[in-house]
């Protein structure tokens, strides 16, 4: 294990959800819990047997750490391990604090040209990497991203990086769609009160064809329905956003058109990929951060996220650091 002095911690929708509702699905907050799972910091001390890190190293933290070498770990899909430790998923504490202890194998050294803030953004970026890999995005893909929050935006970034020829994105908010344009979306659709079928046909007319791939980042029933209707026969719909446990969808439409529906659960094996992309400047996540608060103003930061202002709100845990 290593002891870290925390630097930057992003606030995620799930953090806000636990704070407000006290549960997400089967994960229920039963006692006080530290939030935060998008994080970077500096190594202060290393435990015995830690060879790849030393005090002073700047690291990005992968929040999911398997507790045992089970069948999922053996096949490289450790995110599916039922006993995994995960920051800020009850009952496991997160890392929104000054000092934090974590498994050394899940701390990744940041190159000098990658900032702490970029290091903290590797967590949401990883969701995009994992989703686009599961979706099979490749050279020339036409992609529909549903929802323009932070996760929708990282999926736009990654899909373009992986060779998507055109990406169309939907959202209710004009300002969020503007941000999507900034990070590389080719087309935007501001949804008002269209039916799912109408949204699907708008997607098709903007792309000039139905997309082979849809990445659904809202979890909203109508959006999942639109995702099925929009996806080309033989294509893939990846469900990233999670809403209610039971959702009514046109599953027969998907079945008879051989639309593959895939889920994702967090990510695995994405930190090295993300660090390589950031270090080589192949991907720019900096525009995602719109607000910064010191740790003392955490409540204000959470309120800002809850109101849906900006995109990614970042907390600064190191009072001695005055860099943005």
CA 110 distance to own-chain centroid: 19
Residue 198: partners with Cβ closer than 8 Å, 6 or more residues away: none
Mean pLDDT by 10 residues, the chain (324 residues): 98 96 93 97 97 97 98 98 97 97 98 98 98 98 98 98 98 97 98 98 98 98 98 98 95 98 98 98 96 96 94 91 59
Q: Where in the chain is the domain with CATH 3.40.50.720?
A: 131-263
What span, in angstroms and rounded, lies between the C-alpha atoms of 88 and 270? 19
Q: Output the pLDDT for position 319.
A: 78
Which fold, 2-109+285-316? Quinone Oxidoreductase; Chain A, domain 1 (3.90.180)
Degrees to nearest 5, angle at CA 260 with 257 and 261: 120
Q: Output the pLDDT for position 259.
A: 98
Q: Output the pLDDT for position 322.
A: 60
Q: Output the pLDDT for position 293.
A: 97
What is the pTM for the complete model shown? 0.96
What span, in angstroms and rounded, lies between the C-alpha atoms of 188 and 79? 32
Domain 131-263 has CATH 3.30.70.100: no
For residue 319, give both structure tokens.
């009072």
Q: Where in the chain is the domain with CATH 3.90.180.10?
A: 2-109+285-316
What number of other Cβ atoms are within 10 A of residue 245's Cβ? 7
Helix H or strand E encompassing 9: strand 2-10
């Amino acid at each position: 294990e290593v002891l870290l002095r925390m630097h930057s911690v992003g606030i995620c929708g799930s953090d806000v959800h636990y704070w407000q509702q006290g549960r997400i699905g089967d994960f229920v907050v039963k006692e006080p819990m530290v939030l935060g799972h998008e994080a970077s910091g500096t190594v202060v001390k290393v435990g015995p047997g830690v060879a790849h890190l030393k005090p002073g190293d700047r690291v990005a933290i992968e929040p999911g750490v398997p507790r045992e070498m089970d069948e999922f770990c053996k096949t490289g899909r450790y995110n599916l391990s039922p006993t995994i430790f995960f920051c800020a998923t009850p009952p496991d504490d997160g890392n929104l604090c000054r000092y934090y202890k974590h498994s050394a194998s899940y701390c990744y050294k940041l190159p000098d040209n990658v900032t702490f803030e970029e290091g903290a953004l590797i967590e949401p970026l990883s969701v995009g990497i994992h989703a686009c890999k599961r979706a099979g995005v490749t050279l020339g893909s036409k992609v529909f991203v549903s929802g323009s929050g932070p996760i929708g935006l990282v999926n736009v970034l990654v899909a373009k990086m992986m060779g998507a020829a055109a990406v169309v994105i939907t959202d209710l908010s004009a300002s969020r769609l503007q941000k999507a344009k900034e990070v590389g979306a080719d087309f935007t659709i501001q949804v008002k009160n269209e039916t799912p079928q109408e949204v699907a046909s708008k997607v098709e007319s903007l792309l000039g064809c139905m997309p082979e791939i849809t990445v659904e980042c809202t979890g909203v029933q109508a959006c999942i329905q639109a995702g099925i209707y929009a996806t080309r026969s033989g294509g893939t719909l990846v469900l990233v956003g999670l809403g209610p446990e039971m959702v009514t969808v046109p599953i027969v439409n998907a079945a008879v058109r051989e639309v593959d529906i895939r889920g994702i659960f967090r990510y695995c094996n994405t930190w090295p990929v993300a660090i390589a992309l950031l270090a080589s400047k192949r991907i720019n996540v900096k525009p995602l951060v719109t607000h910064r608060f010191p740790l003392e103003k955490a409540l204000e930061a959470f309120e800002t996220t809850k109101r849906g202002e900006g995109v990614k709100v970042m907390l600064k845990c190191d009072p001695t650091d005055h860099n943005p």
